[in-house]
Amino acid sequence: MSERRVYSRLVAVLTFLCAVASAQSAVSKPFTVAEEIGIAHFGDPYGEEAQSVEFSPDGKYFAALTERGRIDLDRPEDTLRIYRARDVVSFLRRADGAQRPAPLWTFNRSTDKDGPIITHWRWLTDSSGIAFLERGAHGSNRLVLADLKQKTIEALTPKDETIKAFDIRDRRHYVYVVADRGLLQRAAAEGKATSIAGTGRSLIDLLFPADRNPQIAAIFADRSELWAVVGGEPFWVKDRARDQALVLFGEGQRNLACRPTANRWSRR
């Protein structure tokens, strides 16, 4: 059995122990609707946009993503907990009654009324942090970096953009795909108009405007533009032959990847 599989089973055991402890503390109370809303689930079990547990490339850490409802905020809350793998192994090897290991770092995100909030999260190649897409208003996404060493969270792209895919080497070298701004701008303008012409438009386009339903719009209009950051400076990637934006669709977004060595990046 591989070491990674052993660790995954250890994580499952730790999760079970935590759940049992919580259940025992609530035995004497009736189960309420509020408590049901507050139950946390791992990852994204519905859209499969986020993994439950991911180990760092060096194997020293693992992170677990959970989401629960917050009645007081009237929105979901996503939580990433980062543990030292050795702490969990030591805990499971001890006798009963040992104190459960505390996360090395925990942070919460609750930036929209709909979830999941944290999606497509992944470790940096040097295990120094985690990058993810954070959901904003009307389903927009921005690229965010959580620095494990500094325990800071930094947005790498503006909050008013919709990032559809990304790959990253570090905070100064990454690529990302931005949803076609024209589609969102047109939908926003039409939302303020007293009437619009529906001739030649699909029923889906009319019933589910792109600015308020980006997930549905992405299925039927996945046109996007490629951006890159080299040395901390973002720039629009163009097709040099046509001097136009390099356009990507679904297949290109799914296969987006950085070059393997950051010191070879260029703007050519």
Average pLDDT over residues 224-240: 87
Type of residue numbered 177? V
d(CA 74, CA 72): 6
What is the pLDDT at residue 196? 83
Q: Where are the domains of the chain?
A: 1-160
Which one is predicted more confidently, 212 or 129? Answer: 129
**Surface-to-core class of residue 117, CB atoms within 10 Å of its CB (0-12 exposed, 13-18 middle, 19+ buried):** buried
What is the pLDDT at residue 243? 77
3-state secondary structure of 208: coil
d(CA 49, CA 57): 20
What is the pLDDT at residue 12? 58
Model confidence over 98-113: pLDDT tens digits? 788 899 999 999 999 9
Q: How many CA atoms lie within 13 A of 222 on its CB side?
A: 13
Which one is predicted more confidently, 259 or 106? Answer: 106
